[in-house]
């Protein structure tokens, strides 16, 4: 960038910075003014012109409306700021651009000089921990935080990625497959799991403010749950609290979880939509309060969203705590319903690459369904968590109702695991007969039918069971009908190949 452009930009920013410093934000519904730091004023000076959407989003956020110091003074049940020792300089101003993008500069390999300030491109959970330390700590132990590694660094499981996404060619009557590209992994599996964001160097961008030197990042943009950040931390709070709104309301609404928990492999959202709970939510949300920090059953909402059962602090109408807020997303769950071959007890650690099944592979079960001897939570811990979950259900349902519900789920897990074992036994025979190879467990005809059995159909049935709704997801929509039909097709294919030979 030429010196003159830099001077031009700095002058522009100064002009807007001054303009902004005269600007007194008076927010809708309140006449209080929150002090904004000089650095943030300078940011807004330019960015209210170049990226007005971001600035407007922030202006409507809690971060613009209350200082951390004031937020700390709220009663604990309404307090959203868990850190006790917030640096003084940050504590008494609005949480603005610079307060977040200027933190922990030394850890940030993506820090770069930007119009006179040292700015991090990526704000990470470790930065948010300045005020939200408890949330960041909980999150760091969740499977979400480890979502990239759990998929890609698993020597078995990453084969599924290769089999699904590899570009194929056809030559001389033969199909060949290459390894998937980074960009395609980024838009598919890693679109939810997250990508590794690293600094490759600097590059010059042409912007509306002239040429700018910025860090060149790998696999960017990505705001997914397991993102590996340039400061070494894991995750992206923005996945659920999108961008500069930092909204709790959005995270509590089911559309957020729907970004990734979709059919056919994780049909949580699809099942919720068609469940009784979903029906009541979609019919009545406009009369509820999804913003209230002390979220109270009956007063603020009358049917659960995803967050109610899995994450949020929930109170009963007499102010008693029904469930403690948690950002360790599996921590209220006793079984893991999806994502692997058999349903199994939740893993102890969010890092599942440390599991070992009886064949020595990093999987929670063996191919024939035996649980890994270590690394999964105990029956006692399962009982404790189930009891905690029941507590939430019982705010609206009788003890017997709830007991009956979970007995059905136990049975569903047992039966779907049995159906997966049946498919596995047939596949083992196919392998033994030499009709398919075992180099990649997921890439040939019978193997793909086997994958659909557990990844699509068994999962759908278990979700429909767990969320007591959407019986069609347990029956005809990727449910039992598909599972028994595919089982028959597997058998048909096997018998045919026995007659006609491998190729």
- Hey, which residues between 169 and 208 contact a copy of itself (CB under 8 A)? 169-171, 173, 175, 177, 181, 183-184, 186-192, 205-208
- How far apart (Å, rounded) are the C-alpha atoms in residues 434 and 280? 53
**61 lies in the site for a copy of itself, by CB under 8 A:** no
- Decide whether 51 or 73 has the Cβ nearer to a copy of itself: 51
Name the one range near a copy of itself by CB under 8 A: 73-81, 101-109, 324-332, 441-449: 441-449
Asked whether 354 and 362 are in contact (CB, 8 A), the reply is yes
**492 lies in the site for a copy of itself, by CB under 8 A:** yes
User: Token pair of 397, please?
Assistant: 């349902």
Q: Would you give the DSSP letter of residue 397? A: S
**404 lies in the site for a copy of itself, by CB under 8 A:** yes
**247 lies in the site for a copy of itself, by CB under 8 A:** yes
Q: How many CB atoms lie within 10 A of CB 420?
A: 24
Which of positions 304-323 make contact with a copy of itself (CB under 8 A)? 316-318
Tell me the DSSP string of 437-463. Answer: -SSSTTSSHHHHHHHIIIIIIIHHHHH
Asked whether 351 and 324 are in contact (CB, 8 A), the reply is no
Radius of gyration of the chain (CA): 26
Nearest in space to 161 (alpha carbons), one of 195, 112, 127:
195
Q: How many CB atoms lie within 10 A of CB 464?
A: 26
Name the one range near a copy of itself by CB under 8 A: 71-79, 100-108, 225-233, 444-452: 444-452
Instruction: Please state the closest distance from residue 29 (CB atom) to a copy of itself, in A.
Output: 12
Which of positions 324-363 make contact with a copy of itself (CB under 8 A)? none
Name the one range near a copy of itself by CB under 8 A: 38-46, 88-96, 328-336, 458-466: 458-466
Query: End-to-end alpha-carbon separation of the chain, Å?
Result: 61
- Contacting a copy of itself (CB under 8 A), which of 62, 344, 425, 440? 425
- How far apart (Å, rounded) are the C-alpha atoms in residues 364 and 454? 14
Instruction: Please state the closest distance from residue 169 (CB atom) to a copy of itself, in A.
Output: 6
- Contacting a copy of itself (CB under 8 A), which of 21, 70, 133, 166? 166
- Decide whether 91 or 146 has the Cβ nearer to a copy of itself: 146
- Contacting a copy of itself (CB under 8 A), which of 56, 73, 378, 438? 56
Instruction: Please state the closest distance from residue 482 (CB atom) to a copy of itself, in A.
Output: 9
Instruction: Please state the closest distance from residue 481 (CB atom) to a copy of itself, in A.
Output: 5
**432 lies in the site for a copy of itself, by CB under 8 A:** no
Name the one range near a copy of itself by CB under 8 A: 261-269, 343-351, 353-361, 362-370: 261-269
Tell me the DSSP string of 275-313. Answer: SHHHHHHHHHGGGS-SS-SS-BBTTTBSS--HHHHHT--
Three-state SS for 242-267 is CCCCCCHHHHHCHHHHHCCCCCCCCC
Q: How far, in whole angstroms, is CA 249 from its chain's centroid?
A: 16
Instruction: Please state the closest distance from residue 147 (CB atom) to a copy of itself, in A.
Output: 12
- Decide whether 92 or 188 has the Cβ nearer to a copy of itself: 188
How would you classify the pairing of strands 335-336 and 321-323? Answer: unpaired
Tell me the DSSP string of 172-217. Answer: TTEEEEPPPPHHHHHHTHHHHH--B--EEEEEEEEETTEEEEEEEE
Which of positions 112-141 make contact with a copy of itself (CB under 8 A)? 121
Paired strand residues for 296: 315
**379 lies in the site for a copy of itself, by CB under 8 A:** no
Q: At what angle do helices 3-21 and 38-50 cross, to 10 degrees?
A: 110
**26 lies in the site for a copy of itself, by CB under 8 A:** no
Q: How many CB atoms lie within 10 A of CB 7?
A: 10
- Contacting a copy of itself (CB under 8 A), which of 73, 354, 403, 438? 403
User: Token pair of 410, please?
Assistant: 């136990």
**292 lies in the site for a copy of itself, by CB under 8 A:** no
Number of residues that bind a copy of itself (CB under 8 A): 137
Asked whether 403 and 393 are in contact (CB, 8 A), the reply is no
Which of positions 208-227 make contact with a copy of itself (CB under 8 A)? 208, 212, 214, 217, 220-221, 223
Buried b (16+ CB within 10 A) or exposed e, 18-50: eebeeeeeeeeeeeeebebbebbbbbbbbbbee
- Decide whether 89 or 170 has the Cβ nearer to a copy of itself: 170
Nearest in space to 291 (alpha carbons), one of 68, 71, 62:
62
Which of positions 226-245 make contact with a copy of itself (CB under 8 A)? 242-243, 245
**484 lies in the site for a copy of itself, by CB under 8 A:** yes
- Contacting a copy of itself (CB under 8 A), which of 48, 159, 331, 368? 48
- Decide whether 105 or 405 has the Cβ nearer to a copy of itself: 405
- Contacting a copy of itself (CB under 8 A), which of 249, 289, 359, 370? 249
- Contacting a copy of itself (CB under 8 A), which of 13, 55, 81, 323? 55
Instruction: Please state the closest distance from residue 173 (CB atom) to a copy of itself, in A.
Output: 7
């Amino acid at each position: 960038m030429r010196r003159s452009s830099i001077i031009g930009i700095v002058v522009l920013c100064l002009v807007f910075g001054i303009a902004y410093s005269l600007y007194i934000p008076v927010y809708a519904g309140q006449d209080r003014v929150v002090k904004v730091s000089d650095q943030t004023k300078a940011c807004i000076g330019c960015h209210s012109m170049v990226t007005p959407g971001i600035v407007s989003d922030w202006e409507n956020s809690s971060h613009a409306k209350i200082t951390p110091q004031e937020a700390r003074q709220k009663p604990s049940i309404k307090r959203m700021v868990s850190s006790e020792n917030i640096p003084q300089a940050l504590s008494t101003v609005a949480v603005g651009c610079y307060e977040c993008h200027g933190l922990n500069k030394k850890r940030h390999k993506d820090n770069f000089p930007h119009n006179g300030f040292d700015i991090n491109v990526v704000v990470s959970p470790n930065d948010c921990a300045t005020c939200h330390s408890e949330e960041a700590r909980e999150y760091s132990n969740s499977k979400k935080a480890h979502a990239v590694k759990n998929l890609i660094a698993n020597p078995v499981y990453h084969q599924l990625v290769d089999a699904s996404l590899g570009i194929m060619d056809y030559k001389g009557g033969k199909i060949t497959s290459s390894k998937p590209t980074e960009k395609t992994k980024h838009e598919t599996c890693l679109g939810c799991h997250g990508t590794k964001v690293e600094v490759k160097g600097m590059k010059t961008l042409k912007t509306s403010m002239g040429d700018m030197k910025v860090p060149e990042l790998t696999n960017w943009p990505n705001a997914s749950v397991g993102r590996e950040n340039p400061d070494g931390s894991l995750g992206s709070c923005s996945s659920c609290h999108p961008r500069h709104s930092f909204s709790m309301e959005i995270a509590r609404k089911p559309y957020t979880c729907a970004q990734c928990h979709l059919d056919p492999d994780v049909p949580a959202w699809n099942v919720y939509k068609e469940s009784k709970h979903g029906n009541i939510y979609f019919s009545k949300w406009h009369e509820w309060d999804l913003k209230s920090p002390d979220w109270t059953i009956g007063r603020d909402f009358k049917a659960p969203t995803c967050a109610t059962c899995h994450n949020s602090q929930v109170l009963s109408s007499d102010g008693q705590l029904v469930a403690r807020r948690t950002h360790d997303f599996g921590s209220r769950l006793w079984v893991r319903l999806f994502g692997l071959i058999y349903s199994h007890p939740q893993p102890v650690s969010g890092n599942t690459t440390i599991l070992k099944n009886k064949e020595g592979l990093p999987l929670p079960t063996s191919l024939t369904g035996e649980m890994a001897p270590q690394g999964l939570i105990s029956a006692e811990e399962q009982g404790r968590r189930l009891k905690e979950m029941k507590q939430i259900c019982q705010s609206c349902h009788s003890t017997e109702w709830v007991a009956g519900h979970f007995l059905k789920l136990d049975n569903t897990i047992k039966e779907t695991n049995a159906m997966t074992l049946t498919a596995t036994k047939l596949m083992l025979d196919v392998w033994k007969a030499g009709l398919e190879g075992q180099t990649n467990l997921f890439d040939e005809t019978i193997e793909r039918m086997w994958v659909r059995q557990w990844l699509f159909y068994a999962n759908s049935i278990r979700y429909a069971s767990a969320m007591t709704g959407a019986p069609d997801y347990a029956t005809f929509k990727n449910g039992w009908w598909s599972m028994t039909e595919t089982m028959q097709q597997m058998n048909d294919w096997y018998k045919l190949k026995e007659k006609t030979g491998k190729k």
